[in-house]
Amino acid sequence: MAPGFCGFVRPPGGWWGLYEMVPGFGLGCVAIVGVSLLGPAPAPAITDMFARMRQQSGRRPG
């Protein structure tokens, strides 16, 4: 092992012994969903355009 390598790569720690990126990803997803639910609903023009594009693509609604 190269000298100083252990200083840059630490074993998993923190919450539940996971890397810091795993809880960060989960909390980021929760924040994205929370902010999108707290914000206003999209304008009818946007939802109508989305429905038209979905219909043109041949996908079922819902």
Tell me the DSSP string of the chain. Answer: --TTHHHHSPPP-SGGG--THHHHHHHHHHHHHHHHHHSPPPPHHHHHHHHHHHHHHTPPP-
Per-residue pLDDT tens digits for 12-60? 666 556 667 777 888 999 999 999 999 999 999 999 999 999 899 887 6
Q: Is the pLDDT of residue 4 over 60?
A: no
Residue 3: the pLDDT is 53
Would the pTM of this model clear 0.85, i.e. be above it?
A: no
What pLDDT, on the 0 to 100 scale, is given for residue 58? Answer: 81
